[in-house]
Amino acid sequence: MACNEIWTKLEHMKERLIGFIKTYCLFLGIFALQKPLFMLLHFGLYKDCSPGEWLAAMWYGLPLDLSLAGYLTAIPGLFYICSVWKLGNGLRRVWCAYFGLVSVLLSAIFVIDTALYEYWGFRLDTTPFFYFFSSPKDALASGSLWLVAGGMLGMAFYALVIYACFRSDLLRRRSLLRMKMPYRRLTVSFVLLLFLAALFIPIRGGFSVSTMNTGKVYFSTNQRLNHAAINPAFSLMESISKQTDFASQYRFMDAAEADSLFDGLLDPQARQMRQAGVQPVVEQMGDSLRTLLSTSRPDVLFIVLEGFSSHLMGTLSGQQGVAVCLDSLSREGVLFTNFYANSFRTDRGLVAILSGYPAQPTTSIMKYPRKTQSIPSIAGRLAEEGYRAEYYYGGDADFTNMRSYLKSSGFERIVCDKDFPVSQRLSKWGAHDHLVFDRLLDDMKQEDTLSAGRQPRFRVLQTSSSHEPFEVPYRRLADDRLNAFAYTDSCVGDFIQRFRQLPQWRNTLVVLVPDHLGAYPENLSTLSVERYQIPLLLVGGAVAGPKRVDVYGSQQDIAATLLAQMGLPHGEFTFSKDLMDPAAPHFGFFTVPDAFGMVTEDNRVVFDCQSGKVSLDEGTAQGRNLPLGKAYLQKLYDDVAAR
């Protein structure tokens, strides 16, 4: 073979190697440029950052970019090896299809992540997809039609830009579209295989003990800058990989140490049941200082307030003139002043409220019906005492697997959007709050309250109007967000006023609790304790009298507290504590992707699990809550894995 012919064949090998490297570098360039683009699209959050900090977000984010570029270049690497042995239109079509699919996926991930960040304050994980596939209508209800349409156009445009990069003349000379068969195919295949194997290094993140994870890019005390450094596609991929492998997550300490610390965090009844394996015998609560109710078997009504927080109540040093009805009710009821939401989304908050089960940072247990059916619930426990459980919600009860959870929890009847006339489903979330309250009140009026065999009721009403896009049939405040909260507050006040006229009032306990802090105050950091502070308010004719309770607790403690007030055992609610029992530990606990917080009177700690660093640790007992919170979260994931 002539020398010039051999040289030509070697050039064909060189083309493949250069094409392989350029494919990797192109992926890397796309990911790196996404960071300043993301920051520009959220310029209000990053306008105070210096140019050096913008560049730092790109630089420190490179490990995730290098890793994901390695994943995405692996398949083109196989294509290059295949092209050594056979070229044809089939391989070329697969080549184009692969980059077309990758372009669409990367575009969709970036646009969805950018759109949701303003609302959620963390980079993309599997949560929005869980919401979308359970109910597309409700998942899109937060945004306007123009926002959704703009997002779709943005995805299409960005996908075309990415695909054009891979089809550009820069790569066309080196792509499968114009390659020839090389000389010494075994040698070329072996060299390409070595390059392909080398991708393992950036994919894994080097040769250290720890593998690549989003925490490796955290570099600043400014959480927004850390978020900007994260590659959203890698964040999503990591979240998917964590969905079912619960037993290996959050391994902070050995099992014996976690067990020891965890036992000290349990309610006395839960501790007895955990150690002895049997439900403790409980006598009726008689201590007048601990008794909040005038009867042991009241009807119970939970009103779950969408997105409310302590910051909306002047009584709790929040915004004046918004939740005026709640402020008024707090003066006649029992107000818990140091109470915390357990999470940041409704599906996670509901399980904490109704089952005394803490939310998880990386998933929502509501998406696993096989697991939720084994979790104890207030409805199920009260059913054993003859209660009938009913749920009222103006939206889609199938959103986030809610119906499955409610039914397995013991709710016999669920009133949802389909039970309202089409003319009343005017909100993007279904029926407006005042209509849901009207429906509940009408059902109450039709009850036979005189029958000796009447079943006591456990009811839950979940509001939805104080949620994006804040479109409500009410105008009192100029700010749309605050006005939406004022509307729901007015619905609560009107309902309570009318409910007082019914005979059921004098034997009913009304529990008012938000599902999580929502859209006010705006721009609160996801790692701030204040983001999770919410009110817990008990009113109704069954309440013995007004009281302020200053002990620390969170949503998962409602179950044990309620059952204790009714003189019922609650030991099976492992994670729930009686807030009125001085022998129980008192602390607030919350989680958010991917962090947890624990709050007591003498120590407030927030730990960022992604970076492995303490975000906040303050109080007279600094450092005390950190190992306790780690043990609590570790045992929670042990419990999730075991169900």
Q: Which whole number is the average pLDDT over 418-447?
A: 91
Q: Which of 7-21, 203-217, 287-301, 310-324 has the lowest mean pLDDT?
A: 7-21
Closest of 622, 57, 564 to residue 270, by C-alpha? 564
Core vs surface per residue 435-466: b (16+ CB within 10 A) or e = bbbbbbbeebeeeeeeeeeeeebbbbbbbbbb
Cross-strand partners of 303: 461, 512
The helix-helix angle for 480-499 and 433-445 (nearest 10°) equals: 10
Backbone angles phi, psi at 338, to 5 degrees: -120, 60
Return the higher-pLDDT residue of 3 and 67.
67
Burial class (CB in 10 A: 0-12, 13-18, 19+), 91: middle
pLDDT at 256 over 90: yes
Q: What is the pLDDT of residue 588?
A: 97
Q: Which of 13-17, 294-298, 395-399 has the lowest mean pLDDT?
A: 13-17
Q: Which residue has the tokens 């179950």?
A: 559
Q: Which whole number is the average pLDDT over 512-538?
A: 88
Q: What is the pLDDT of residue 135?
A: 54
Q: Are 555 and 234 in contact (CB under 8 A)?
A: no
Quote the CA–CA distance of 379 and 388 in Å, as a whole number: 8
Question: What is the total residue count of the chain?
Answer: 643
Quote the CA–CA distance of 560 and 40 in Å, as a whole number: 47
Q: What is the pLDDT of residue 208?
A: 58
Q: Are 308 and 514 in contact (CB under 8 A)?
A: yes
Q: What is the pLDDT of residue 506?
A: 95
Closest of 283, 300, 323 to residue 492, by C-alpha? 323
pLDDT at 170 over 50: no
DSSP codes joined into one string, 15-32 = HHHHHHHHHHHHHHHHHH
Percent of the chain exceeding pLDDT 70 equals: 86
Q: What is the pLDDT of residue 7?
A: 45
pLDDT at 335 over 50: yes
Confidence of residue 195 (pLDDT cuts 50, 70, 90): confident
Quote the CA–CA distance of 325 and 314 in Å, as a whole number: 11
Q: What order of strands is seen across the sheet that includes strand 299-305?
A: 413-415, 388-393, 457-462, 299-305, 508-514, 533-539, 334-340, 547-554
Confidence of residue 6 (pLDDT cuts 50, 70, 90): very low
Q: Which of 330-334, 370-374, 438-442, 448-452 has the lowest mean pLDDT?
A: 448-452
Q: Which whole number is the average pLDDT over 617-643?
A: 94
Query: Average pLDDT of the chain?
Result: 86
pLDDT at 347 over 70: yes
Q: Are 498 and 441 in contact (CB under 8 A)?
A: yes
pLDDT tens-digit map of 449-468: 656 668 999 999 999 999 88
Q: Are 542 and 236 in contact (CB under 8 A)?
A: no
Q: What is the pLDDT of residue 312?
A: 94
Q: Are 639 and 371 in contact (CB under 8 A)?
A: no
Confidence of residue 13 (pLDDT cuts 50, 70, 90): low
Q: What is the pLDDT of residue 491?
A: 97
Quote the CA–CA distance of 413 and 374 in Å, as a whole number: 20
pLDDT at 405 over 80: yes
Which alpha helices (DSSP H) does 199-336 contain, by range? 200-204, 223-229, 232-241, 255-263, 268-276, 324-330
| Sequence-distant (≥ 6) Cβ neighbours of residue 139 within 8 angstroms | 128, 131, 132, 399
Q: Are 176 and 83 in contact (CB under 8 A)?
A: yes
Highest mean pLDDT among 184-193, 296-305, 423-432: 296-305
Return the higher-pLDDT residue of 389 and 184.
389
Q: Which residue has the tokens 């830009």?
A: 161
Q: Are 216 and 593 in contact (CB under 8 A)?
A: no
Q: Is 547 helix (H, G, I), strand (E, B) or coil?
A: strand
Q: Which of 349-358, 460-469, 498-507 has the lowest mean pLDDT?
A: 460-469
Q: Delimit the domains of the chain by residue range.
A: 3-241, 255-642
Quote the CA–CA distance of 151 and 148 in Å, as a whole number: 5
Q: What is the pLDDT of residue 169?
A: 47
pLDDT tens-digit map of 79-99: 888 777 776 677 678 878 899
Q: Which whole number is the average pLDDT over 241-268?
A: 88
Q: What is the pLDDT of residue 594?
A: 85
How are beta strands 457-462 and 388-393 bridged, if at all?
parallel
Fold of the domain built from segment(s) 255-642: Alkaline Phosphatase, subunit A (3.40.720)
Give the largest Cα separation in the chain, rounded.
Answer: 107
Q: Please state the pTM of the whole predicted model.
A: 0.76
